[in-house]
Amino acid sequence: MAQAQNSISKIPVGILGATGMVGQQYISLLNDHPWFEVRFAAASPRSAGKKYSEAVAGRWQLTKTYAPHVGGIMVEDANDVSRAAEAFKKGECSFVFSALEMSKDETKALEEKYAAAGIPVISNASAHRWTPDVPVLIAEVNPGHTDIIPMQKKARGWDRGFIAVKPNCSIQSYMKPVHALAQAGYPAQRIVVVTMQAVSGAGYPGVPSLDVIDNVVPYIGSGEEEKSENEPLKIFGSIENGVFKNAEFPKIAAHCNRVPVTDGHSACITLEFADKKPSLDEIKAIWAAYKGLPQEADLPMAPRQPIIYREEENRPQPRKDRDTDKAMAVTVGRLRPSNVFDIRFFALSHNTVRGAAGGGILNAELLKYKGYLG
């Protein structure tokens, strides 16, 4: 499927919040994308009216730069939905990735305005994660949740526009390993998770250096622990009467910590199974065999191996494993019995790629593959 897409013209896309940390990651990852090309950029009023190269001068945080044509794009005011609608009508922007850095209420209202104007919104923001008819997508785990989009559009009177979001970055490292076990007939009943989250997850300038160097901060604002405990239940849930019904299990208790790591969120997982319990070797085999629709469809951003197990006692490590397979794979290790629950293991994913912009791009590829974008 992906190879067939390469032969057609690229789809023009826009970035909302294009000058921020996640917006920059979208710009960078889309440099050579075979399906999508950035043609529209919007940000805060202070960046509006400048070329993108001028708006990010002295603020570009990534080692890989933006494509030359992106530097010449005139940045629009993200609040001016009429300008995006004009670009949409002219064929300059078929949909937008939202990396808005505003309050939750402001983000929620603005994304709805874009959707009402006929522009699909693929969001990185948390504002709509608990909206009952908005899918929270991890492409390998719940691709069927895209089925709610026609219901969402009908209920809201939207023609072409809709909203789909990705979940919190801190749950990305363990959702696929847990899902793989559930698919194989071993659903989790209870989970205790302790996350060690990179400073890039706080954006830029983020956590002051004097707060995080030689330190661990055992609290992350914006409801990080609540997101970690509740969002998986929507992702594992089902569609009923045009809205999502959350799953009852697994029950999750989360402790979220900020640590002095640039990129890569890690998690210590202790898990109790609902009923029968697989052997450790069986668990490793389940993870090794795990594939989802993105792998079956050969979507461009999809990792070939979604879950990679490392046998070394001291792996995975953020610096050594976060960039595995386009920084889109989850790396796990240290699988062993638990004296309290059934098993425990360590997991790692790249928070600004798999957990943010890369995950958003993969969601857009999934939506394109299923006929919702184009």
Active site residues: 169, 265
Residue 191: CB atoms within 10 A of its CB come to: 22
Alpha-carbon distances, residue 17 vs 130, 161, 202, 275, 371 (angstroms)? 21, 19, 15, 45, 26
From the number of C-beta atoms within 10 Å of its C-beta (0-12, 13-18, 19+), residue 8 rates as exposed
* Half-sphere exposure of residue 234: CA atoms within 13 angstroms, side-chain side: 25
Query: What number of other Cβ atoms are within 10 A of residue 45's Cβ?
Result: 10
Cα angle: 266, vertex 345, 230; to 5 degrees: 65
Count other C-beta atoms under 10 Å from residue 61's C-beta.
Answer: 16
Q: What is the 3-state secondary structure (H, E, C) of the chain?
A: CHHHHCCCCCEEEEEECCCCHHHHHHHHHCCCCCCEEEEEEEECCCCCCCEHHHHCCCCCCCCCCCCHHHHCCECEECCCHHHHHHHHHCCCCCEEEECCCCCHHHHHHHHHHHHHCCCCEEECCCCCCCCCCCCECCCCCCHHHHHHHHHHHHHHCCCCCCEEECCCHHHHHHHHHHHHHHHCCCCEEEEEEEEEECHHHHCCCCCCHHHHCCCCECCCCCCHHHHHHHHHHHHCCEEECCEEECCCCCEEEEEEEECCCCCCEEEEEEEEECCCCCCHHHHHHHHHHCCCHHHHCCCCCCCCCCEEEECCCCCCCHHHHCCHHHHCCEEEEEEEECCCCCEEEEEEECCCHHHHHHHHHHHHHHHHHCCCCC
